[in-house]
Amino acid sequence: SQQGEEDPQALSIQEGENATMNCSYKTSINNLQWYRQNSGRGLVHLILIRSNEREKHSGRLRVTLDTSKKSSSLLITASRAADTASYFCATYNNAGNMLTFGGGTRLMVKP
Amino acid sequence: ETGVTQSPTHLIKTRGQQVTLRCSSQSGHNTVSWYQQALGQGPQFIFQYYREEENGRGNFPPRFSGLQFPNYSSELNVNALELDDSALYLCASSYSTSGEDTQYFGPGTRLTVL
């Protein structure tokens, strides 16, 4: 079973618009990570937010974390065609050895 | 591009055969994790190796086995292949098993079982 579930499953926007993806998880966490995957290739780590953080920024990315609701969101501002990819949230188990991914949001940014 | 490499890139096998996939971890990383990603889904954790020992396993049958070598490279072996084993297999390396580390993924091996 997957710990995180992303919403929406697919998102199509125009270049320049903002894209927001949401992730819900089930158990308590120490941190939550977001990864990006281009068309069936390897995943690239985007950002990690710890359980005691509420918001984190990295360039055009903004991540929020609400541990009371067990949810996180990833905002990509001023999107570009090159942002077209699948985005996954992921959390570690308590032992810190198993990273569990959600089903992903497939983002398409139209030029 | 991460420093993690995987081979081969693509592989076609038939049911019942055995397959070995290989992964070279990023320099300085002693931990390798393997994931299976079916089409349209998120990666699923198979197992992790830390300093040549298995350090955690997901919900996969024993016909999925692995090895980690002294140079921290790793192999994933799958016996008695089934059609449902068709997937992208990803390996990822990290500095440790702290649960705080970024995992650096290789480009994957796409396995097709006919």
B94, β-bridge pairs: B31
Residue A81 backbone phi and psi in degrees, to 5: -55, -35
Higher pLDDT among residues B5 and A96, named by residue? B5
* B58, B100, B108: residue with CB nearest A31: B100
> Which H or E element spans position A105?
strand A105-110
In DSSP notation, B86-100 reads: -EEEEEEEES-SSS-
Question: CB distance A97–B97 less than 8 Å?
Answer: yes
How many structural domains comprise chain A? 1
Those residues with Cβ within 8 angstroms of residue A76's Cβ, 6 or more apart along the chain or in another chain: A18, A19, A20, A60, A61, A83, A107
**What 3-state DSSP class applies to A12?**
strand
CATH number at residue A13: 2.60.40.10
Confidence of residue A4 (pLDDT cuts 50, 70, 90): low
What percentage of residues in chain A have a pLDDT greater than 70? 96
Question: CB distance A45–B43 less than 8 Å?
Answer: no
What residue numbers bound the domain in which A77 lies? 4-110
Residues of chain B that touch chain A, judged by Cβ-Cβ distance less than 8 Å:
2, 4, 33, 35, 41-45, 48, 50, 55-56, 58, 88, 90, 92, 97-100, 102-108, 110
Q: Is the pLDDT of residue B106 over 60?
A: yes
Question: CB distance A96–B99 less than 8 Å?
Answer: yes
